[in-house]
Structures are given as structure tokens and as C-alpha cells.
Amino acid sequence: MKLDLIGKYNLDLIFPVGLLLLAEYLIFLGNMKAAMTLHALNILLLIFSSIYLESRIYSVLMLLPLFRLLNVAMPVFFNLTIYSYSLVYAPMFIPIYYIMREKVISTSEAGITPKGFLFYLPLAIGVGFALGWGESNVLHAGALIPDVDLKGILILALTMTLFVGVVEEFMFRSALQTVLEQRLGSLGGLLVCSIIFGIMHSGYRLPSEVFYVSFAGVVFGLLFWLTKSLPIIALAHGITNISLFLVAPIYPEALIYLIGVPGFLFILHASVIWISSKEAPAGDKRPPKKIEPQ
């Protein structure tokens, strides 16, 4: 088979993604040993494929089975789940660093920029709390920290944003969605990435959780389309988990304000900017200059 036909029919994409989804389905069924074997084989397949076929999609796809293997193999040193998150996610900064250093994903593609952060901050907060509230109705999760004090809240917030948010959003939105959109088109890339994102939550063994997280993946993907900002989507992801594991189980009555107030502020701010951009000085016949968030 000619190499150009492999790319034309996405065969180089179908097989590793198929192995990934099959392994996650085995996790859903509780067959961890077979699942980890498939993930390990998938990494080897992607390594050998990258030798013979020059495509950045292999480096990006390799992040997913690698993350799952780390997730399962990492020894537990703490009784509290919150501390184990940093142990699982911190090692992923190493392959992320190499992907950025080798320019597999450019800085602009990854959305590593402060541009627009303050403008989109209220939107990220509102979307995050809303998605967390929705997921709480699926998982019915309890609080992840035993003592709701300032120290516990700070640890949860920093862990969910700087570790979980940054790592997962780089893997799925900055990297995977970017390369899938290049191959499958904007809509196809968004949907396939979101489905993979949902299926990689198979460890809960709840079909409703897989569907909901796939929906959340679409929302995060659209937010990335809008902002092209990794800090914004990492923050939104982190706040989603804060909402799920802290606010929803302990302070559910506060969610209406945590969702509504930031949403209102974003709409108000965006409206002011839009109106200002439409207003031209009296006597000035030139078209109004576009005003973008800084």
C-alpha cells in the first residue's frame, strides 16, 4: 500500500485511536491487565510508526496511552486522593515539554499566551462552575478534601488547575484537537477529540459519565476555538473539578451565583466592547476599528 493512501484514508489515525478506545473499553469492563497491555502495545506502535511515517499526530497520540499507564502504575503514597493527583499528572509535564521543545505543537497552536485572559476570565469561571454542577448530578461525588479550610481549598484549587487542568487541556485541546482538526476538519476534529476525552473517563464505569464528559469536551473545545488560550481552558477545567468535588457537595446553593454572576459580567463587558467598536467619531466616515480583548 502506498504511503500517501495511508494518509488519505486516515489509516494511520484509525488504528492507534481504535486501540486506544478498545483499551479504554476494557477498563470500563474492569479488565485492567488486558487494557494496560493494549496501551503499552499502542505506544510501541506509535513509536515505530513515527520512524517510517513523518507525522506529528503520533507524538500527540502517544500522550494518551502514556498518561493512562502512569495513572494506573503510579504507587499511592497518600490516603487522600487529592495528593495522588499531583503524582499522576506531574510526570506528564516531561513529554509535554519535549513536544513543545521539538515544535510538534507551536506556541500559538497550544494557546500559550496571556492575550485575552482577563476578558475571558468571567466566562471561564461561569462555564467551569456550570459544567461541574452538571457532572455532580451524574457522579454524585463527595468532597475531595476532608477539612474545608483555607489550606484544603487552596490545595484543591491549585491541584485541579495547575496539574489536572493544564495537563489534560494541553493533551486534548492544545495538541489532540489541533492535529485532528488539521486532518479531519474543524468540526470532525472537535467531535472526535471530545469523544476520546469522554471515553478516557471510562474508569468510573458509568455510561452517563462518558456521555457527559464528551459533552464537556465539546464545550471546552468550543471555548478553545473562541479564546485560543490554554490558560483559559485550563482554568475552566480546574474550576469544573472544584465545582464537582467541593462546591456542589458542600455549598450547592452557591452555584447559582457562581455561575450567574461571572456569566453576567462577561456578557456586560463583551457588550460594552462591541458597542464601543461600532461607534465612530462624528464626521468620521471610516469603518470602525475592530476592538479585541487584550
Query: Does 215 reside within a domain?
Result: yes
Nearest to 124 by CA among 280, 246, 236: 236
Boundaries of domain holding 149: 93-278
DSSP H helices, the chain, are 3-8, 11-29, 32-52, 56-73, 81-89, 93-101, 107-110, 117-139, 150-158, 166-169, 178-184, 186-199, 207-227, 230-242, 248-250, 255-278
In a domain, 154, yes or no: yes
Residue 96 sits at the vertex; the CA angle it makes with 116 and 221, to the nearest 5 degrees, is 45
**Are residues 58 and 188 located together in one domain of the fold?**
no
- Grid coordinates representing 40? 503499552
**Cell 464537582, residue located:** 244
pLDDT, one tens digit per residue, over 64-115 is: 999 999 988 776 555 557 888 888 899 999 999 999 999 999 999 999 999 9
Domain boundary pick from 38, 73, 108: 73
117 falls in which pLDDT band (50, 70, 90)?
A: very high
The angle that helices 11-29 and 56-73 make with each other, rounded to 10 degrees, is: 10
Other CB atoms within a 10 A radius of the CB of residue 121 amount to: 18
Task: Let me know if residue 142 belongs to a domain.
Answer: yes
On whether residue 290 sits in a domain, the answer given is no
Q: Which three cell numbers stand for residue 196?
A: 476520546
- Average pLDDT value over all residues in the chain: 90
Spell out the residues 6+ positions from residue 184 whose beta carbon is closer than 8 angstroms to its own. Answer: 10, 192
Alpha-carbon distance of 266 to 119, in angstroms, equals 7
**How many domains in the chain?**
2
Each residue's pLDDT tens digit, 254-290 = 999 999 999 999 999 999 999 988 875 555 555 444 4
